[in-house]
């Protein structure tokens, strides 16, 4: 079974067409041309599907980096450590 | 009594004086009375509608909260929003739909008998309806508790500094500020007065000076192409000065009462792309549309084409919100197209910039992007400003004709200005540009100014006031006040 961190990374790779090496903790919205405001909406939809969560408008705007996305998901009960 | 009047300044001075004189527990009564008096002076016949919309939103909010299931909450929310939108639709869009249906019926040779109705648009209905819809949606999603104090809620609905033309506020930002006791604060009074004065400056020395010049071209039966180009660019300057002045005055008035409103503009004509433009122009409407239209439309959408459709729909709503006319619909669609086309051609444009080595000079590249964005925005405003679709297309054709851009033609087009008006406009336009330049370099011109000598500061303040008194022109309402 795929671990949550892998699911999270795969969401970026699949939706934003990023190479595996590009998905790192430094990744931020707007820094790469792939993760732009439109790619962001597609990424949100993928993450909502994969983790079965619902992100409201505040969270969508708060989710502006790889790390902040993980923090948000942790708040919604997604465990990235003890799984 | 509009913002730009001695009456308003006197009215507001009395409110501020009384506000800080009376105990906190009575202030909501003062603010509410002031808001209703202000609205009544401008549009007394629509006070009942304002009161009814307030009551409807207040009780709907509470009923949503009391429902046990998400489904029930949604039902109540939708009923509340439908009634609010019915009010808006009836007053703002009835004749638009009616006229459109009549035109279709005529074209199809159908019998259509619904006559034209004399319906007056209630002041600020577009603004307070959107604010109310946002409030109900936030309660549904659990982001906002339904306000139980009817007085505070009514002020949120009709707070006079931002009632007429925004900023469109969220309840969670505005409501708590009414409940906190604000003591008399020199910084707030000082900053508030400066923002109000700056609003008067932009409105009376730029916007209202340009308004008749722009109108002389757009109302002319046969303007030249160069005149249309010049008038459209001037209209962009006018619209920004007009609307940002209105926001300045609203923000300044609220700040003098200790209340912070959301900034509505961040130098939009220096945007480097259309998406950047919309993050700088009418920010509170843009974020409202993003949160309550665009994000919900994007739910579950993973393909770029699906998100493109959501963008176009969102801009369509924006266009329709601005005005009940096909020119505004087209204006919204043009911006939707810009946004989608901009995204679709992003990589291609990057390659072109690289091929012609424009990206090697970042400053030049940035200014090219600013110029292109500004011209795209100007083109869309041909539709925004024209009084009918036919005129809009005629003007758009003139705007796009290469001959219209001949320097000699543009210079000749300046004849639409009487010489003295041109000199005055250019002088004050430069002042506003200097102000904006300092803002771009220092984040806040007011803070920058605070670091200058007392002589320099007061010279500038006196310059603002004297300029408004001597050269200021007034008489037009705010463009967005009509929405």
3-state secondary structure chain B: CCCCCHHHHHHHHHHHHHHHHCCHHHHHHHHHHHHHHHHHHHHHHHHHHHHHHHHHHHHHHHHHHHCCCHHHHHHHHHHHHHHHHHHHHHHHHHHHHHHHHHHHHHHHCCCCCCCCCCCCCCCCHHHHHHHHHHHHHHHHCCCCCCCCCHHHHHHHHHCHHHHCCCCCCCHHHHHHHHHCCCCCCHHHHHHHHHHHHHHHHHHHHHHHHHHHHHHHHHCCCCCCHHHHHHHHHHHHHHHHHHHHHHHHHHHHHHHHCCCCCCCCCCCHHHCCCHHHHHCCCCHHHHHHHHHHHHHHHHCCCCCHHHHHHHHHHHHHHHHHHHCCCHHHHHHHHHHHHHHHHHHHCHHHHHHHHHHCCHHHCHHHHHHHHHHHHHHHHHHHHHHHHCCCHHHHHHHHHHHHCHHHHCHHHHHHHHHHCCHHHHHHHHHHHHHHHHHHHHHHHHCCHHHHHHCCCHHHHHHHHHHHHHHHHHHCCCCCCCHHHHC
Query: Among residues 4-63 of chain A, which lie with CB inside 8 Å of chain B?
Result: 15, 33, 36-39, 41-42, 44-46, 48-49, 56-58, 60
* C-alpha–C-alpha distance, residues B246 and B203, integer Å: 8
- B193 neighbors B412 (Cβ within 8 angstroms): no
- Which residues in chain B are contacts of A42 at CB distance < 8 A? 301-304, 307
For residue B408, give every residue at least 6 positions away whose Cβ sits within 8 Å of its Cβ, in sequence order, or none. none
Of the candidates B240, B216, B204, the one whose C-alpha atom is nearest the C-alpha of residue B415 is B216
Q: B164 or B83, which is more confident?
A: B83
CA distance B342 to B310: 15
Collapsed DSSP state (helix, strand, coil) of residue A28: strand
Distance CA B244, CA B263 (A): 9
Closest chain A CA to residue B140: A56
Q: Do A45 and B350 touch (CB under 8 A)?
A: no
Cβ neighbours around B43 below 10 Å, total: 18
Set B282, B322, B335, B391: catalytic member: B322
Nearest to B228 by CA among B479, B401, B450: B401
* Crossing angle (nearest 10°) for helices B326-344 and B304-322: 150
Is the pLDDT score of B205 beyond 70? Answer: yes
Do the chains contact at A57 and B291, CB–CB below 8 Å?
Answer: yes
Looking at residue A17, its pLDDT comes to 83
Give the count of beta carbons closer than 10 Å to the beta carbon of residue B191: 19
- Which residue in chain B has the smallest CA separation from A46? B302
Q: Do B308 and A38 touch (CB under 8 A)?
A: yes
Are A36 and B343 an interchain contact pair (Cβ–Cβ within 8 Å)?
yes
Q: Are B232 and B378 in contact (CB under 8 A)?
A: yes
Task: Report the pLDDT averaged over residues B1-27.
Answer: 91
Per-residue pLDDT for B478 more than 70?
A: no
> Does residue B24 carry a catalytic annotation?
no
pLDDT score at B480:
64
Encode burial over B246-261: b for 16+ CB neighbours within 10 A, e otherwise. Answer: bbbbbbbbbbbbbbeb
> How high is the mean pLDDT of chain B?
91
Q: Which of B288, B292, B299, B303 is the best mutation test for A, with the most CBs of A within 10 A?
A: B299
Q: Is the dihedral angle over the CA atoms B434, B459, B199, B191 positive or is it negative?
A: positive
Bridge partners (DSSP) of residue A28 are: A65
Between A17 and B178, name the one with better pLDDT: B178
Residue B210 above 90 pLDDT?
A: yes
Q: Is the dihedral of CA B262, B267, B272, B274 positive or negative?
A: positive
**CA pair distance A25, B452, nearest whole angstrom:** 43
Chain A residues with beta carbon closer than 8 angstroms to that of B295: 41, 56-57, 60
pLDDT value at position B482? 59
Q: Look at B299 and A37 and tell me if their CB atoms are within 8 Å.
A: no
Chain B residue whose CA is closest to A54: B299
> Who among A38, A45, A60 is closest to B343 (CB)?
A38
Tokens of B225: 């192409």
Q: Which chain A residues have a beta carbon less than 8 Å from that of B134?
A: none
pLDDT band at B283 (very low <50, low <70, confident <90, very high): very high
| The pLDDT of residue B118 is above 70 | yes
> Cis bond leading into B167, ω under 30°?
yes
Considering only the beta carbons, identify the residue of A36, A38, A60 that sits closest to B295: A60
pLDDT band at residue B21, thresholds of 50, 70 and 90? very high
Nearest residue to B323 (alpha-carbon basis) of B99, B123, B480? B480
Q: How many CB pairs under 8 A join A and B?
A: 42
- Write phi, then psi, for B438 (nearest 5 degrees): -65, -40
- Residue range B103-128: average pLDDT? 84
Question: Does the beta-carbon distance from B302 to A48 stay under 8 Å?
Answer: no
Q: Which of A26-35, B217-226, B321-330, B370-379 is most confident?
A: B370-379
B244 CB contacts (<8 Å, ≥6 apart)? B199, B202, B264, B265
Q: What is the pLDDT of residue B476?
A: 65
In percent, the amount of chain B with pLDDT more than 90 equals: 65
> B347, A44: Cβ pair inside 8 Å?
no
- The rounded distance, in Å, linking the Cα atoms of B290 and B140 is 17
Please say whether the beta carbons of B165 and B243 come within 8 A: yes
Query: What pLDDT is recorded for position B481?
Result: 61
What is the rounded average pLDDT of the residues B48-73? Answer: 94
- Cα of A24 to nearest chain B Cα, Å: 22
Test mutation, A30, A38, A49, chain B, max B CBs within 10 A: A38
Rounded Cα distance, B471 and B422, in Å: 12
Q: 3-class SS at A37?
A: helix
Do residue B300 and residue A41 have CB atoms under 8 angstroms apart?
no
Judging contacts by C-beta atoms under 8 Å, the chain B residues touching residue A44 are 298
Say whether A42 and B301 touch across the interface (CB within 8 A): yes
Residues B385-396 as b/e (b if ≥16 CB within 10 A, e otherwise) read bbeeeebbebbb
| Residue B66 at interface with chain A, using a CB cutoff of 8 Å | no
Integer Cα distance of B147 and B156 in angstroms: 10
Residues of chain A with C-beta less than 8 angstroms from the C-beta of B308: 38
Q: Which of B289, B269, B288 is nearest to B280 (CA)?
A: B269
């Amino acid at each position: 079974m795929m671990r949550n961190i892998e699911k999270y990374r795969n969401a970026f790779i699949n939706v934003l067409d990023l190479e595996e090496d590009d998905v790192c903790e430094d990744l931020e919205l707007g820094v790469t041309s792939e993760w732009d405001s439109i790619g962001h909406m597609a990424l949100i939809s993928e993450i909502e599907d994969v983790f079965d969560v619902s992100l409201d408008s505040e969270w969508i705007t708060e989710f502006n980096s790889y790390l902040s996305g993980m923090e948000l998901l942790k708040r919604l009960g997604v465990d990235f450590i003890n799984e | 009594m509009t913002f730009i009047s001695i009456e308003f300044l006197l009215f507001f001075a009395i409110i501020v004086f009384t506000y800080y004189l009376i105990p906190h527990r009575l202030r909501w009564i003062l603010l509410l009375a002031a808001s209703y008096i202000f609205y009544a002076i401008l549009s007394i016949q629509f006070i009942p509608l304002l009161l009814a919309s307030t009551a409807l939103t207040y009780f709907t909010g509470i009923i949503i909260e009391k429902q046990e299931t998400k489904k029930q909450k949604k039902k109540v929310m939708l009923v509340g929003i439908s009634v609010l939108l019915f009010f808006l639709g009836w007053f703002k869009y009835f004749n638009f739909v009616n006229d459109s249906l009549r035109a279709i019926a005529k074209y199809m040779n159908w019998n259509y008998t619904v006559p034209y109705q004399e319906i007056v648009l209630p002041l600020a209905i577009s603004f307070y309806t959107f604010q109310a819809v946002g409030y109900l949606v936030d309660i549904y999603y659990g982001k906002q508790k339904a306000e139980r104090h009817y007085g505070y809620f009514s002020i949120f609905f009709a707070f006079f500094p931002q009632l007429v033309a925004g900023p469109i506020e969220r309840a969670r930002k505005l409501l708590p500020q009414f409940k906190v006791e604000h003591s008399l604060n020199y910084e707030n009074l000082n900053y508030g007065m400066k923002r109000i004065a700056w609003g008067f400056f932009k409105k009376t020395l730029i916007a209202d000076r340009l308004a008749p010049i722009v109108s002389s071209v757009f109302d002319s039966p046969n303007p030249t192409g160069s005149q249309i180009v010049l008038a459209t660019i001037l209209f962009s300057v006018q619209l920004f000065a007009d609307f940002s002045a209105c926001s300045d005055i609203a923000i300044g008035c609220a700040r003098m009462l200790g209340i912070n409103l959301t900034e509505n503009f961040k130098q939009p004509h220096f945007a480097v792309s259309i998406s950047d433009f919309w993050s700088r122009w009418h920010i509170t409407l843009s974020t409202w549309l993003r949160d309550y239209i665009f994000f919900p439309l994007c739910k579950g959408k993973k393909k770029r084409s699906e998100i493109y459709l959501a963008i176009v729909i969102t801009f369509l709503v924006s266009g329709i919100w601005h005005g009940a006319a096909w020119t505004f619909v087209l204006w919204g669609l043009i911006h939707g197209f810009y946004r989608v086309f901009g995204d679709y051609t992003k990589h291609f444009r990057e390659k072109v910039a690289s091929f012609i080595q424009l990206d090697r000079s970042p400053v030049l590249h940035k200014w090219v992007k600013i110029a292109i964005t500004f011209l795209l925005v100007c083109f869309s405003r041909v539709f925004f400003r024209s009084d009918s679709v036919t005129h809009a297309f005629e003007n758009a054709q003139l705007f796009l004709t290469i001959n219209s851009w001949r320097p000699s033609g543009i210079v000749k087009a300046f004849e639409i200005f009487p010489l003295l008006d041109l000199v005055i406009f250019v002088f004050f336009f430069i002042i506003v540009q200097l102000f904006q330049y300092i803002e771009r370099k220092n984040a806040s011109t007011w803070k920058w100014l605070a670091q200058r000598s007392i002589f320099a500061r007061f010279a500038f303040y006196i310059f603002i006031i004297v300029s408004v008194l001597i050269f200021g022109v007034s008489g037009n309402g705010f463009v967005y006040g009509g929405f």
